[in-house]
Structure 1
Amino acid sequence: MRRRAVFADRDGTIIEDRYYVADPADVALIPGAITALRKMRELGFALVVVTNQSGIGRGLYTLADYHRVAAETKRQLARAGMAVDATYFCPDGPGGDPRRTCRKPSPVMYRKAARDLELELSNSYFIGDKRSDVLPARKLGGTGILVRTGHGAMHADGLDDDFRVVDDLAAAAELIGRLESGGESPGRSPAP
């Protein structure tokens, strides 16, 4: 049986977005992120980080820089007794052929995660601070939740009604808890 997942963006959702985070010293967990991830885990979800890292494609930092930041993020999560099941990243910059890129909102990274981890994409949650983080929910049949941290406040205006908007990852975890208990209507994106 395939597991359901929470797919969360990294920069601006789990860690502070500090304009192309390229230095491990700049990694800072957003307040409430650990508690939120723990609650999602307790609800039985696989936790998967899916992140665009266009700074690599733009030449602003290297692949090695990305891996150092990812390792520091993992270390900070572990220090708090938390871990994610997997992290997927796309190094492509904007402007490429949308049929060939892994850049969100492309479903490429999500489908890879589904294969690798035996996940059910429909009925999963897609959380982030940009439209590109939540739009895959529409294509894959899950629920998109935009957080107002990071760039979220800019992206919340005009977002379609089938997506949810909450203050932060902690509020997203609370919303998921209510949705899972039947205490709230999902406002789910239509299935493909």
Structure 2
Amino acid sequence: MPKAVFFDRDGTLNVDIHYLHRPEDFVWIEGAKEAIKYVNDKGYLAILVTNQSGVARGYYPEEDVKNVYDWMNAELAKIGAHLDALFYCPHHPEGNIPLYTKTCSCRKPETGMVDEACRQFQIDRSQSFFVGDSDGDMECAKRANLTGIRYTSGSLLGRLEEFL
């Protein structure tokens, strides 16, 4: 069974600006691209799991989330790295777009995104990790039976090397 590293996006892979949805506003966290390459080289799937309430709030469409992901992968390809999959939650209970305004099982700290990735890729949770910067990310890791790795500052690569 494959093993995976699940990455939160905002505040973990990129500098957190509210409602990031354009590649030109994306700023990589120190060591983030190298951390993803490290994960790739170690034989882990690299899976992005991100709450994107800006969709529910009407700030940007789902397509923007996918465009940023595609841009990230294009940037990662320059160093021989890649993300294997994108799972995102466009919902929020206080949204403005009725289709996305709800309480769901995919919004972290709920485990829906991780559960779906594990189903699709047959991931071995006992050998997998969740990297994030928030209490919600660590709660999601715990609920999903993954080892949580909290990122606070400095090199993300350095933080991962402590665990993998």
2:150 aligned with 1:146, yes or no? yes
Contact 2:40 2:82 in 1 (8 A): no
Tell me by how many angstroms 1:58 deviates: 1.2
Per the alignment, residue 135 of structure 1 pairs with 139
| Alignment partner, residue 71 of structure 1 | 70
CA-CA distance at 1:94 after TM superposition:
4.5
Structure 2 unaligned residues grouped into runs of 5+? 95-100
Q: Specify the code of the residue in structure 2 equivalent to 1:132.
A: G
Aligned residue for 1:122, secondary structure, equals helix
Q: Is contact 2:105–2:111 with CA below 8 Å preserved after alignment?
A: no
Alpha-carbon distance in structure 2 between the residues aligned to 1:86 and 1:130 = 21
Q: Tell me if 1:48 matches 2:29.
A: no
Query: Which segment is superposed worse, 45-54 or 116-125?
Result: 116-125
The alignment's TM-score, normalised by the length of structure 2, stands at: 0.86
Give 2:109's aligned residue: 105
Q: Distance in 1 between matches of 2:102 and 2:69?
A: 27
* Aligned amino acid, residue 140 of structure 1: A
Following TM superposition, by how much is the alpha carbon of 1:141 offset from its aligned partner in structure 2, in angstroms?
A: 2.0
1:171 aligned onto 2:122: no
Q: Report how far residue 25 of structure 1 moved.
A: 0.8
Distance 2:129 2:159 in 1: 10
Residue 22 (structure 1) aligns with: 21
Larger relative contact order, structure 1 or 2 (CA cutoff 8 Å, min sep 6): 2
- Residue 14 of structure 1 aligns to a residue whose secondary structure is coil
- Report the AA paired with residue 84 of structure 1: L
Unaligned runs of 5+ in 1: 150-166, 178-192
Query: Contact between 2:115 and 2:144, CA under 8 Å: does it hold in 1?
Result: no
**1:78-101 C-alpha deviation (Å, 9 max, x unpaired):** 122210111111101255765x33
8 Å Cα contact 1:6/1:40 also seen in 2: yes
Q: After TM superposition, give the deviation of residue 132 of structure 1 in Å.
A: 1.4
CA distance in 1, matches of 2:54, 2:124: 30
Relative to its length, the structure with more strand (as a share) is 1
Partner of 1:189: none
Instruction: Give the AA of the match of 1:173.
Output: L
Q: Are 2:11 and 2:133, in contact at CA under 8 Å, matched by a contact in 1?
A: yes
TM-score normalised per structure 1: 0.75
Q: How much is the aligned-residue C-alpha RMSD, in angstroms?
A: 1.8
